[in-house]
Amino acid sequence: MATRVAVIYGGRSGEHDVSLRSAEAVIRALDPSRYDVRRMFIDKAGRWDPAPLVPEPGANPGIDVVFPVLHGTFGEDGTMQGLLELADLPYVGAGVLGSAACMDKELAKRACRERGIEVVESVTLRRGALDVAPVEQGLGYPVFVKPANMGSSVGISRAADRRELEAALALAAAYDRKIVVERAIVGRELECSVLGNDEPIASVPCEILPSRAFYDYEDKYLLDTAKFELPAKLPAETTERLRRIAVDAYRALECFGMARVDFFLEGTTGRLYVNELNTIPGFTSISMYPKMWEYSGLPFPALVERLLVLALERHAEKKATRFER
């Protein structure tokens, strides 16, 4: 009997269109002789088609496992994962805690620092108190301004002076009530894919070569001019150190299933900084999470299948947990 897979995609985030492309790639990778795919689309207003999941165990017949292909807010931040937990359905990717912690850039930094993992110095501001003084006194210029809870570089700006900083803060505040301002790192942008539950493994890393001032939304998805080095041209010791840190960060943030760990390698110091973790990375034709695994010996269809198996294994393991006296 074919495994019945519900693919949830679309959603209310600024990454809705990216989700559509990722979902189509995932669906194409599923062998129709082995998997029965059920599409569950969420439009930009949050309406489900054909019908929403019911948050009750046993109330969603015809679904063996869920593959949420939802990037950003209301999909990658723990909210969808909470719904799936209430429905008692196996699902691909991190749980509520890991999803929420990775989505919040400030909380992710805290968790990494607690484990001795280096992250870029930053200042956190709130929408109602966008004071430039802490940034200028603590970081100087240039800086990067980011909504704390957003992905695909949506709402991110580089600021080289006070005028640009004020504009960047206003833009980021349109996407989140919490804004993270980071010291700009001069160096290389690297990525590493991590896969697994209790025994995660890291792929060969890649390097991103942006065509613009930084790797923004247009460079990622619209211009098709960014370049990639796969594998990244690094000394063997640096590659192994990066892969080890990627797994450490994955564990520190309670990730399961998959995550892409993004790094900065500072040119003047050689220090590796964890930038962020994406718990539902892109699965488009240009997305690096599957490309890194393909280079590492795990083709796209096998990767998707492995993620479904990990979801089912984790759900079965959770069944051993008692919820009553």
For residue range 61-91, list pLDDT tens digits in order: 999 999 999 998 899 999 999 999 999 999 9
**What does the block give as tokens for 127?**
């929408």
At residue 149, the pLDDT reads 85
260 is an active site residue:
yes
On average, the pLDDT of the chain sits at 93
User: Do both 140 and 190 map to the same domain?
Assistant: no
Catalytic residue among 10, 11, 14, 15: 15
Average pLDDT over residues 157-171: 95
Helix and strand totals (H; E) in the chain: 10, 14
314 found inside a domain: no
β partners of residue 298: none
Q: Domain span at residue 49?
A: 3-92
- Dist. CA 186–CA 195, nearest whole Å: 29
Catalytic residue among 91, 175, 215, 221: 221
- Dist. CA 300–CA 290, nearest whole Å: 6
User: Do both 22 and 143 map to the same domain?
Assistant: no
262 is an active site residue:
yes
Q: Does the pTM of the predicted model rise above 0.85?
A: yes
Amino acid identity of residue 282, one-letter, is G
Catalytic residue among 21, 188, 243, 260: 260
* Cβ-based neighbour number of residue 299 at 10 Å: 12
- Please identify which residue in the block is written with the tokens 């957003």: 150
User: Do both 83 and 226 map to the same domain?
Assistant: no
Count the alpha carbons within 13 Å of 3 in the hemisphere toward its beta carbon.
16
189 is an active site residue:
no
| 98: Cβ contacts below 8 Å, ≥ 6 apart | 253, 254, 255, 256, 279
* Structural domains counted in the chain: 3
DSSP state for residue 129 in the 8-state scheme: B
- Dist. CA 221–CA 313, nearest whole Å: 33
Catalytic residue among 276, 287, 289, 305: 276
278 is an active site residue:
yes
Q: First vs last Cα of the chain: how many Å apart?
A: 37
- Dist. CA 168–CA 294, nearest whole Å: 37
User: Do both 108 and 222 map to the same domain?
Assistant: yes
Catalytic residue among 282, 289, 305, 314: 282
pLDDT in tens, 32-65: 999 999 999 999 999 999 999 999 999 999 999 9
User: Do both 302 and 166 map to the same domain?
Assistant: no
β partners of residue 310: none
Catalytic residue among 278, 287, 305, 314: 278
221 is an active site residue:
yes
At residue 213, the pLDDT reads 63
315 found inside a domain: no
**What does the block give as tokens for 152?**
């695909």
